[in-house]
Each structure stands twice: as structure tokens, then as C-alpha cells.
Structure 1
Amino acid sequence: MNRGDGGASAATRLILADDQTLVRAGFRSILDDEAELSVVGEAGDGAEAVRLARSERPSVVLMDIRMPVLDGLEATRRIAADERLHGVKVLILTMFDLDEYVYGALKAGASGFLVKDTEPMELIHGVRVVARGDALLAPSVTRRLIGEFAGRIKEPPPAPLLNSLTEREREVLVAVAAGLSNEEIAGRLVVSPATAKTHVSRVLTKLGARDRAQLVVLAYEAGLVKPGWLG
């Protein structure tokens, strides 16, 4: 485990969780080069990642899935369920963009995912997106991932929470599932970006979702959208 130095409190604080030392070193060298990003801890397994999250209270945990002691899926679930870590976001790192465990991680509360061979600037961008509270949802990959595994659900489970949504809010949920930004949702629904943002916030509140990533999962699992509908 490595700790960042003084001054990290003024930056976006990051924890790297991966059982491969060289992988962590590579990510650290990229992220620490950015003035507003600071790696304040490293974990070689999921249990240590959870402990570090509780002690360091980072903005983002970059979480590998396949780790010893406690895998990234369970570590993500524990972080997301801990009220003390409400503001801590988890960004999943995976070797493959179609990894069934990623779907489980998104459902557990992760705010998005990146493949490990992503370009450095994409990694930095992804961390910034998640740190500011947005979900990292690349439509071309995330829809394919969610559709692949949500499509295995034979019958949508009961979704009484959806009954609390207005017709417009259901439209917004479908748009979020398509990976649209607030600006794009505003254009589709012919409303202002501020109104679109308000609708998304209300949907998040009504469905008890942490962020847009969980809204995508909920939309597919509830049968509100199905694989192939969104192009």
C-alpha cells in the first residue's frame, strides 16, 4: 500500500485497486502527472480497497474485478452500501469490454468502467467524469454489455418503483439507458438542459439509484428497454 503525500486534500483523491503491481504503477504514473489528480492509496486485493476507501475517503476508487481475498465486485458492493462512503465513486477496470462481472459491478453501484488498455487521455477523462459525479457510460460499449447480460433475463422482474415515474420521467429513463447526456436528452424531448437535468435527478431519487449507471441497469432489468431497441 502506498500513500500520497501532503497536498492531496486539494486534489481529486484516487485509490488504485489491482493485484498486479505493474498495472498499479502504470496507472499511478499517468494519473499523478495531472495536477488536480492524486493517488492517495494502492490496494492489492478487494478487502484492502474497502479498508482504504474507509480511511482515505477518496473521490474515486479504480477497481479491478479479479483480485484475491475479496474480488472487486464484492468490494464495490461494500463501498456502495456504506453510508459513510456516500460520495466515493467506483470506476471498474477490466481486461475485456464484455465481462459478465462488469454488469454485476454496475448493478452493485459502480459508476462506470474502462478497459485496461485504454489510452492515457481516456483514463484521465474517465476519472474526471466519475469524480464530478457523472456515470462513465460509453453507449457503444455499455449498451452492448448491459444488453448482453440483461437479455438473459427471461421475464422482467416486478418493478413497482417504476409506477412512481411520470410518463415524461419514463422517457428520460429510456434516454439515459441509451447513454444520452442531459444536453442530448434536452434535444430529444425539446426541453432546456436544466429541465432535463431536473428530470434525471427526480428519476434518480424516485428509483433510489446512485447514478446514471444504475439507471441503465434498472431500465433493462425492468423491461422498459430491451437489447436491440436502442440501436
Structure 2
Amino acid sequence: MLQVENLTKRFSGFVAVNRISFALEQGEILGLIGPNGSGKSTTFNMIAGLLKPSEGSIRLEGREIGGLAPIEICHSGVGRTFQIPRPFKQLTILDNVITAAFYGQRGSVTRAKALDQAEEALTLVGLPTDPQAEVASLGAAGLKKLELARAIATQPRLLLADESLGGLDETEMNAAADMLGHIRREKNITIIWVEHIMGVLMRVVDRAIVLDHGEKIFEGLPREVARDPRVIEIYLGSEKITFDEAAS
């Protein structure tokens, strides 16, 4: 479904991502992980269109999308969440998601169809479809769910989930991971999940890619990640507890 070849991003003389290649099959959940500064967000943002690649190719179902504007990539079938949710606070929860439905489909859907799609997305993530429910009523976990609902409402075939666990406690993190698995099953959506919290992510992904200093250092099955010496070295210290969870 997605083919990334020799993807590179330079900022002046600094190489943030260096010739990364990978393929993604339809229906997979791929974990893109690594410590802070590893290049995972830069890679993610090139796929989503927020950054233009310095070199390399990004093909979605055979079509080159590298360097296209974010709205063009969205209309090609790629939805994304942001690490820090920024909903329209003056709109209700439902209207936030309806707006996303219009955006993702070039405004070509009717109000009734956008409403149906918004209600479906909110139900999938466990948020109220009450037209009076306000964004101000949501806590950190609720805002993450709203961000996910907005992405789903754009009707993507490929969903890019950006650090969906940030700011959540352990129970909320487990629930968020289970939710992504549920969305994949219900909507048959392919997912790339960018994350640095390793243990929870490994419960859900089919395959993982580990980045470090802008380079791919590992690609394989979740159970293999925890046995790789270089990955172990990177994740020692503050990530040791979550790494041990992944190893088990």
C-alpha cells in the first residue's frame, strides 16, 4: 500500500532522516519507534505532507505523494492525528468531527452524510454524539480520542497516528492501544503509529521499525525487537520498564 524509498530530510547541514526505506501492506499496523530526536516525527511529517523530502520517494498505492501539500495527501486517502490536539474550541465535539468529514472529502459530502460519518467516528472512539457536548468537557484522554475521531472522519485508507499515548496514564494508554486495534478491524484501515513508549505499542503492532539518529536500525516482528542488541542499548535507562514489558 505504501512504499518509502531512500527517504531523506536535511535541515541546512543537518541530516534528520537518512535514506530510510520500508514498505507497508494493506491492513497492517506498523510501529515507527525510537527515542526523542531519532527522526520518527520527521519521517511521519514527510509522509503526511507537513515536510517536503530532500530526497527519496513516497508512493501510496503506486502514486507518488512525496512533496504534495497536506490537503492533497489527505484527499489521496491519508488521515493523521497530531501529538498535541488542537480542536476548534468554539465548536461542539460533534461539529469538530463533521468539519473533518467535509475537509477530508473536498466538501463533496452532504451535511447528512458528514453527520453520519462523524457519529460513526465518535462511536468508534467512545465519545458522545450528543450535538450539545462541548470540547471543554474533555480531559487529556478525551482530547486524544477527539483527535482520532477527526482523522477517521476524513475517511482515510491509511491512518498516521502521532504519539497517541502522550499525557495519558497507564490505563488510558492501554485503552488507546486497544482502540487502534479495534479501529483497524472495524474500518479495515492501515495504520502507521509513531511512538516512543515501546511496551504498550508492541501489544498492537504487526511489525516495528526502530529509528536512531535519523537511520533505520531495526525492522521486524514485535517479539524480535526486544532481542536486538542495538535496540536494547538505545532503550536502556528511562525506557527500561516499558522495554521489559515489550520483551515479555
TM-score (norm 1): 0.34
User: Larger relative contact order (C-alpha < 8 A, sep ≥ 6)?
Assistant: 2
Structure with greater proportional strand content: 2
Structure with greater proportional helix content: 1
